[in-house]
Amino acid sequence: MSFIKHFDNLEDTRSHINKKHELLDIIFLTVVAILSGAEGWKDIKQFGDSKLEWLRKFRDFEAGIPVDDTIARIISAIEPTALLSCFMSWVNEIRESNGQSIIAFDGKTLRHSFDGDRKTALHSVSAYAVEQGLVLAQCKSLSKKNEVSTVMELIELLELKGNVITADAMHCLKKVTKAIDKKDGDYALQVKNNQGKLSNEIKAYFHKIRRDEPQLIDSNTLELTNDGHGRIEHRQYVQLPVTDWLSQREGWSKLNSVIEVTRKRYINEAESSETAYYISSLEIDLPRIAKVIRSHWAIENSSHWVLDVTFKEDESRIRRGDAPENMATFRRFAMNLARLSSIKDSIKGKLKRAAWSDDVRE
């Protein structure tokens, strides 16, 4: 299963006289260089020069390795939406053999990708398959305030049947639940003040049930405790079915349950506590809903953190044309490739070994 075949239909927008280097050669070079720890154009050029013999096992590279400015020009000229389609074609092939998943949506800003005005820094929204540890797609968003429309685009693009979608409170909107339901997916969305009436009614509903039917609370409660690194975390999940008592249920697609999550943390002698509320299309299933809600943070810990710490994405100063968006896609290609490797090591460890060993990289 070669990822490069998924780029075959990618349009090369360069004029004929500027096509000394094959587009697929440069794409292959870029992805495997990033997989080997390259961060910028100079790194990619130097990797290519040192590994040209190895690269020619897979692609011709008849014109050799271009200078770094040419690499930058070629990558920045790729149409980002077309590149995303190639990425999703590859990921969908992977998903067919790995089954369905919990999919977490979240936004991320490349803080040093701005050109002059910091407000121009690239902000994108990613869809992350939690169980497989794979980024499924990412779309550019005009800003954090425009994340909702970007999530709606991703919902339309992705195969969601049998998947459970999680997102933060910004995306707790009726149109989002309708779009997910239309694609035969399920959802678990946090409710905050942007849905004030719904939030207040859910809190009142839990208060009413505790007062009038305490046995229903007892039978629909799951408590979990984790400890490590000097911290103990206790989480209590209470999931209740939606009834006619909740007048604010109207307009939400397939709203079947509401969830209260109370988290208590003990660090040394200090204690902190918080309570959050969620809506979901899932029926009562406490172990499943607990896994879904906790899994949402995997996109922060397993995707964003890895991109920033291991791939140095937040430090990237690549700014030319569409290069920031395209390089962000290539990093996710590389991260997915590393995750799919059977080698037992961290992502950082895998990248180091890919840099050192032609066999590991292959």
State the pLDDT at residue 116: 47
- Flag the least confident range among 7-11, 179-183, 202-206, 307-311: 307-311
> How many angstroms separate the CA atoms of 305 and 85, rounded?
25
State the pLDDT at residue 143: 55
State the pLDDT at residue 205: 98
Q: Are 325 and 82 in contact (CB under 8 A)?
A: no
> How many angstroms separate the CA atoms of 190 and 167, rounded?
7
Residue 282 backbone dihedrals phi, psi, to 5 degrees: -75, 145
Residue 57, pLDDT above cutoff 90? yes
Residue environment code for 61-85, b if the CB has 16+ CB neighbours within 10 A, otherwise e: beeebbebebbbbbbbbbebeebbb
State the pLDDT at residue 323: 84
Confidence label for 360 from pLDDT (cuts 50, 70 and 90): very high
Nearest Cα to Cα of residue 177 among 192, 160, 193, 196 = 160
Q: Give me the residues paired with residue 123 across strands.
A: 109, 141
Confidence label for 118 from pLDDT (cuts 50, 70 and 90): very low
CA distance readout (Å), 184 to 35, 161, 179, 254, 319: 35, 5, 9, 11, 38
Render pLDDT for 168-209 as a digit per residue (tens, 0 to 9).
888 999 999 999 999 999 999 999 988 999 999 999 999 999
Task: Give the containing element (helix H, strand E) for 140.
Answer: strand 134-141
Residue 318, pLDDT above cutoff 70? no
Stretch 3-17: mean pLDDT: 81
Question: If you write DSSP's letter for every residue of 52-89 in order, what string do you get?
Answer: HHHHTTTS--TT-PPPHHHHHHHHHTS-HHHHHHHHHH
- Flag the least confident range among 101-110, 123-132, 136-145, 225-234: 136-145
Confidence label for 28 from pLDDT (cuts 50, 70 and 90): very high
- What percentage of the chain exceeds 90 in pLDDT? 52
Which residues have CB under 8 Å from 134's CB, separation 6+? 91, 94, 95, 98, 128, 336, 339, 340
Average pLDDT taken over every residue of the chain? 87
Stretch 311-337: mean pLDDT: 79
Task: State both tokens at 67.
Answer: 């200078």
Residue 1, pLDDT above cutoff 80? no
- What percentage of the chain exceeds 70 in pLDDT? 87
Residue 355, pLDDT above cutoff 80? yes
